[in-house]
Each structure stands twice: as structure tokens, then as C-alpha cells.
């Protein structure tokens, strides 16, 4: 965001969420919303994360548990189908993994620098004892 001078911004410790007015925001997907530069949607906090969730869609049953429990609205779902994780805003808390009910889990935590495709290729097998 451009560093404006003291006389160049709106008064008050106030920031606008969107550029211009909004209508049916609940019916508008995030990627289609006119978020302002000040909105936290535009700010990546990926560097807060030390470990990351990796999503393996082969085991996902689209139960939406992760979507409901994610404290940062970072689970991306479309038409009740889990698509993936918003890695600009996920802080790596691991709650999505904790609540995932499948066997094996469809989300697992890995070090930030891990390669997703490699980890998916060596995904743990079904835990027969638990089953």
C-alpha cells in the first residue's frame, strides 16, 4: 500500500473493506468481491506459518468439517465441495486436520517447505486398527 502523507487519507483510525459500495456480498464469492487494498484479504500472512496443511482430495468426503472449524476462513469450498486451502491466510493451526474424520485423513500437517505432490504420493494408508 502506498505510504500517503498526513493530509492524504480519510480521517479516523478507519479503513474501508471494499472499494465502493456493496450489494449482495453474501452471494458474491471472495474472488469476485471488490476488496480494498486495506482489506486483510489482500494481505498475505503466509509467513506466520511454520507447518502447513496439505489436502489430499482422494480421501475427502466433503463433510465440510474443516470449512466450519477453520478459524480464519481459509478452507476454500465451492458448491459444498472442498477445493483446497487459502495459503495466503492459513496460519497453520492444524484444526482442519484435527477435525477431519476420514481414514486416512484428507488433510495432514507438513513442514512449510515440504512438497505437496511428494507428500500426497506417500500419503499414509488406511489405519486398519482404527477402522
Q: Does 14 bind other proteins (CB under 8 A)?
A: yes
Q: Does 27 bind other proteins (CB under 8 A)?
A: no
3-state SS, residue 119: helix
- Containing 68, the helix (H) or strand (E) segment is helix 65-69
Stretch that binds other proteins, among 5-13, 51-59, 89-97, 118-126 (CB under 8 A): 5-13
d(CA 125, CA 131): 12
* Minimum distance from residue 1 beta carbon to other proteins (Å): 9
Residue 83 backbone dihedrals phi, psi, to 5 degrees: -105, -40
Stretch that binds other proteins, among 20-28, 50-58, 93-101, 120-128 (CB under 8 A): 20-28
Amino acid at each position: 500500500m502506498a505510504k500517503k502523507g498526513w493530509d492524504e487519507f480519510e480521517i479516523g483510525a478507519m479503513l474501508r473493506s471494499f472499494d465502493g459500495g456493496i450489494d449482495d456480498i453474501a452471494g458474491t464469492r471472495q474472488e469476485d468481491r471488490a476488496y480494498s487494498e486495506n482489506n486483510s484479504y489482500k494481505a498475505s500472512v503466509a509467513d506466520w506459518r511454520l507447518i502447513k496443511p496439505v489436502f489430499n482430495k482422494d480421501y475427502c468426503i466433503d463433510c465440510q468439517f474443516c470449512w466450519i472449524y477453520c478459524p480464519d476462513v481459509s478452507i476454500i469450498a465451492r458448491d459444498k465441495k472442498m477445493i483446497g486451502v487459502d495459503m495466503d491466510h492459513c496460519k497453520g493451526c492444524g484444526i482442519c486436520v484435527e477435525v477431519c474424520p476420514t481414514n486416512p485423513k484428507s488433510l495432514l500437517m507438513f513442514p512449510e517447505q515440504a512438497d505437496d505432490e511428494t507428500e500426497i504420493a506417500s500419503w499414509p494408508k488406511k489405519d486398519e486398527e482404527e477402522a
